[in-house]
Amino acid sequence: MAVPVEEAIAALSTFSLEDEQPEVQGPGVWVSTERGATESPIEYSDVSAYRLSLSEDTKALNQLNALTQEGKEMASVLYTYRSCVKALPQLPDSMKQSQADLYLETYQVLDLEMSRLREIQRWQASASSKLAADMQRFSRPERRINGPTISHLWSMLKLLDVLVQLDHLKNAKASIPNDFSWYKRTFTQVSGQWQDTDSMREELDDLQIFLSTRWAILLNLHVEMFRVNNVEDILQVLIVFVVESLELDFALLFPERHILLRVLPVLVVLVTSSEKDSESLYKRVKINRLINIFKNEAVIPAFPDLHLSPAAILKELSTYFPKFSSQTRLLTLPAPHELPPREAQEYPPTCFMFLLFTDKLLLSCYY
């Protein structure tokens, strides 16, 4: 039963608040670790108490942050994926009559591994759709004046960074296509025992397209983003924010700086490939500023022992985004392995360091 406010105040007035009264328990202090100023440890649950028109924004922020956390777990699953085909037993010729049983058991083992990849496929589709919807929300005329806050920009960039990391991990894992080819082969052998396998075949084909297409996640994100017009404006806002943060050293920690460096080439490709005149971007951000960033940060970490080159990303994505192929100044920027020795001396030394980092540790080895 709730106590009326007046009675509660009257009861509090009877408490003794004498000076120098000993305290049995000191005041509670919130200790927050590994939290930036752009994050809320209570997930903005106090916003409703201030009666501000921020409920829609805070709800979107919590959703983006939750997706980012889920994406990091997906990236860990993908990074730790190891091929299990080599561990599967092979029957000798004398036991060929048991081949059907072996196919069935092999399918059951591989189906467990493929289910994790299906989960990643479903998650990236949902995350891309929600990120695109959030960007499109700020493309409405009434939201262009009161645009996204710094916290909202960081949440968008972090989720986009997770999608870029997932795509790069998927491209780098040679064991995944090998396992999938075995999985598809065993499915062909055992599917004759089942009825109504059309839906399973369709799901299998979708997974094959997802795994075999390089940068499939970014291509899907591009489709989701440009379902409506005017999303270029928010993309340009993100690019300006990233460039200024890198140039003015707003990102003090290496993990934050690496997030900005990983998403910048992707943002440039996305905004340049739109139907709208992409030259408006280079009126707000001179192309020399982008070139200097890509040249000074020629190699960036993508995951503990995997690295990315912004110049290499630009060149590879240009084959999937024809409109970006006209940006010759960005595409002629050489990747680190393409530099002649004399030109390599013009790059800063930090471009040629190999970074092995985790959330707790950063090790740098210079050439």
Nearest-angstrom CA–CA distance, 302 and 128: 19
- pLDDT score for 366: 31
Nearest-angstrom CA–CA distance, 83 and 178: 8
Could you give the C-alpha distances from 280 to 69, 241, 260, 272, in angstroms and in order? 34, 16, 21, 10
302, containing H or E segment: strand 300-303
Nearest-angstrom CA–CA distance, 367 and 358: 21
- pLDDT score for 114: 93
Beta bridge partners of 300: 308
Which three-class secondary structure state does DSSP give residue 363?
strand
Q: Look at the pTM and tell me if it is higher than 0.75.
A: yes
Nearest-angstrom CA–CA distance, 202 and 125: 17
- pLDDT score for 179: 92
Nearest-angstrom CA–CA distance, 315 and 318: 5
- pLDDT score for 358: 37
Burial class, 28, CB count within 10 angstroms (exposed 0-12 / middle 13-18 / buried 19+): exposed
Token digits of residue 201: 């075949």
- Among candidates 85, 266, 50, 81, which has minimal Cα distance to 178? 85
- pLDDT score for 28: 55
- Among candidates 299, 295, 335, which has minimal Cα distance to 315? 335
Nearest-angstrom CA–CA distance, 195 and 165: 39
- pLDDT score for 22: 58
Burial class, 262, CB count within 10 angstroms (exposed 0-12 / middle 13-18 / buried 19+): buried
178 contact partners, CB below 8 Å, separation of at least 6: 83, 85
- pLDDT score for 216: 95
The ranges assigned to domains in the chain are 48-228, 229-367
How many other C-beta atoms lie within 10 A of the C-beta of residue 71?
A: 22
**What is the residue whose two structure tokens read 């990091």?**
72
- Among candidates 177, 168, 261, which has minimal Cα distance to 217? 168
Cβ atoms of residues 286 and 239 within 8 Å:
no
260 contact partners, CB below 8 Å, separation of at least 6: 157, 242, 245, 246, 251
278 contact partners, CB below 8 Å, separation of at least 6: 232, 271, 272, 323
Which three-class secondary structure state does DSSP give residue 365?
strand
Q: What is the pLDDT along the chain (367 residues), one digit of tens a residue?
A: 566 767 777 777 777 666 665 555 555 555 544 445 566 666 676 666 665 667 778 888 999 999 999 999 999 999 999 888 878 777 666 666 677 888 888 888 899 999 999 999 999 999 999 999 999 888 776 665 567 889 899 999 999 999 999 999 999 988 899 999 999 999 988 887 787 788 889 999 999 999 999 999 999 999 998 887 678 889 999 999 999 999 998 887 888 999 999 999 999 999 887 766 567 788 888 889 999 999 888 888 888 788 888 888 999 998 888 888 888 888 888 776 665 555 545 555 444 443 333 333 333 333 3
Nearest-angstrom CA–CA distance, 242 and 153: 9
